[in-house]
Amino acid sequence: MPQLGKKPKVLLTGAAGYIASHAALAFMEAGWDVVGIDNLSVGQRRMVPEGVEFHELDCRSPEVFDLARSCGIDIAAHFAGLIRVDESVFEPLKYYDNNVAAAASFFGSATKAGVKGIVFSSTAAVYAEGAEAPVSETYPKSPASPYGRSKLAAEWVLHDHCSVTEPRHVTLRYFNVAGADPKLRSGPRRDAQHLVKAVSEAAVGLRDHIQIFGTDYDTPDGTCIRDFVHISDLASAHVSAAHYLLNGGDSVTLNCGYGRGLSVREVINHAARFADAPLKTVLVPRRAGDLVTVVADARKLRETLGWTPKFDDLDAIMKTAIAWERKQLAEA
């Protein structure tokens, strides 16, 4: 535990990215000091919230150890990594290098620096195709893409590492993260690829159509089904995980979602209520590596961390996502 009267400190990798920037806000609001690193190969410096001690640094750099030790970091949270399923199919080595090798290096540096726990950003893409919804943490793992396999490999690395060293870990398997900070202090990057981002851009006129990748899936309307979780709720789960580790909690892997599945068409139809003009869709073939249905059983997360989401509602996700795009448009 931090010394009495001393704020706990967290080190975030990928601090200039979508998820880590929201996590930084959540940690600071919870009374933590936040140190962030990012090599800015993908992240954008403007995404780092005010109040974060930021260093332009690759998570594999030997300087990570020096920084973590000198700052007295209590918890390390590893967000840095590549996330595009379709790209991973065609560039697998890029994903294994960034998502496995870099993660292993960071875990080692953080441990040598004396951190008490590591929070790791994983994904529901580790689960086998055909999982019955909702899927629990014990469901068989057989990822359909190099992206999913790289994240599962990193999970194994962290598990094995923490089994023989002092830090404990919380691995959070994200489902589909969406939305923006309700105060619009942060939101998705301009080049983000996910569905809610595309729908939000179309809703404010920043793109003329939304692509639907595959309409022949075995679902009620033929499109993929996903469990969309608001970014601010995901961020709060990281704060809960950090407190859990500081208080001596054991290593654990947890799903992070709401347990409610929505199809691609349902999301688009819902967003149309908030759009400035009718939303045009274009049907295109399936993307390589996409799963049919991905919905979380998140009971273990709620029970273990006491996590209570505040934005478990598609309206909240879409309203904040579209408000963020309107803000970007006004500031352009």
Closest to 267 measured CA to CA, from 163, 178, 151:
178
The residue from 18, 127, 147, 217 that is catalytic is 147
CA 196 – CA 176 distance, rounded (Å): 9
First to last CA, the chain: 45
Q: Please, are residues 184 and 255 in contact by the beta-carbon 8 Å criterion?
A: no
Written as one letter, the residue type at 246 is L
- Would you mind telling me the total number of residues written for the chain in this entry? 332
| Cβ count within 10 A of residue 220 | 10
Question: What are the residue ranges of helices labelled H in 165-298?
Answer: 195-203, 231-246, 264-271
- Record the tokens describing residue 303, joined without a space: 């029970």
Burial of 140 (0-12, 13-18, 19+ CB in 10 A): exposed
Instruction: Specify whether 147 is catalytic.
Output: yes
**Dist. CA 52–CA 37, nearest whole Å:** 10
Q: Tell me if 48 sits within 8 A of 21, measured CB to CB.
A: yes
Contact assessment for residue 126 and residue 173, using Cβ atoms and an 8 Å cutoff: yes
- Residue 12 vs residues 111, 167, 223: alpha-carbon distances, Å: 14, 16, 35
**Active site amino acids:** 147
